[in-house]
Amino acid sequence: MFERLTENGFEIVTLHHAEAILSQDMPEAVTELDSVLANITLPIEEIIRGGGGEGKLTQRIRRALAEFGWIKHNFEIKKTVDGVEKESLSHEIDHVKKFGDWTFALEIEWNNKDPFFDRDLENFKRLHADGVISVGAIVTRGSSLQGALREYVAKFSRDSGFSGIENLGEYYSPTERQTKNIQRAIESAGDFHTGWANAFVADKFGEATTHWRKLEDRVHRGVGNPCPLLLIGIPAQIVTF
């Protein structure tokens, strides 16, 4: 299952019988996810430009999933006692699709604050406990991509012929705080490209953001248990120069 993604460097982890459910009851879901993710690419300029809101890679994945019918859905669960509503909960999931009697819920966490993993996993846990979803999935930056970001940003800087902060304007406009951090990092590294890359990645894609190790930390602690889970880590290989 997901052989093509694994060959392309994606990290794939299934937990709590998710593999059996997917292979036996929802093989179409596997095929569709494989089709969407196998050929994604991320130009290095998109990492540098960043900006507010949702990343362009996430937007492309969302559009591709929507073409297969994976759409946003708001689950509303109400508890009623003797005709009186006692509790009402709402859980919005970005990508949901039914496959016969089985329901698949998926979230993309490209670069959020890492507590979003807790939110997603707890939502999956509650929805599964209420018999609403069959499998929950999270797609995030894989360990190889997280580990390569500094190298890739430095390479982009060298390839672009940058020599100082003033060269960054077309792609990246640091704040006063960020400029001071970059200057300190350059002094520490003794090299503009390495220093700027270190400061940029620490600020934009740091340890407190959503990436593979942070997701692993959660599931190893049992967050989301016992919901069947599929975890997908996007690899460094998708970055293009």
Which helix (H) or strand (E) segment holds residue 12: the answer is: strand 11-15
**Same domain for 165 and 137:** no
pLDDT tens track for 5-28:
999 999 999 999 999 999 999 999
User: Are both 90 and 129 inside the same structural domain?
Assistant: yes
Same domain, 21 and 52: yes
Q: How many CB atoms lie within 10 A of CB 15?
A: 17
For the chain, how many structural domains are there in total?
2
Same domain for 39 and 94? yes
Residues 85 and 47 grouped into a single domain: yes
State which residues form the domain around 197.
Answer: 146-204
Regarding whether 171 and 112 lie in a shared domain, the answer is: no
Burial class for 212, CB neighbours closer than 10 Å (0-12, 13-18, 19+): buried
Q: Are 160 and 190 found together in one domain? A: yes
**Co-location of 38 and 114 in the same domain:** yes
Question: pTM to 2 decimals?
Answer: 0.93
pLDDT tens, N- to C-terminus, the chain (241 residues): 999 999 999 999 999 999 999 999 999 999 999 999 999 999 999 999 865 557 899 999 999 999 999 999 999 887 778 777 767 677 899 999 999 999 999 999 999 999 999 999 999 999 999 999 999 999 999 999 999 999 999 999 999 999 999 888 888 888 899 899 999 999 999 999 999 999 999 999 999 999 999 999 999 999 999 999 999 999 999 999 9
27: left (phi over 0), alpha (psi -120 to 50) or beta: alpha
Residue 23's alpha-carbon distances to 2, 17, 63, 132, in angstroms, are 10, 10, 25, 19
* pLDDT, tens digit (0-9, with 9 covering 90-100), for 77-110: 877 787 777 676 778 999 999 999 999 999 999 9
Please indicate, yes or no, whether residues 68 and 20 belong to a single structural domain of this protein: yes
User: Which H or E run includes 24?
Assistant: helix 18-25
CATH number for position 228: 3.40.91.20
68 shares a domain with 18? yes
Q: Tell me: do 179 and 222 sit in the same domain.
A: no
Residues 158 and 83 placed together within one structural domain of the fold: no
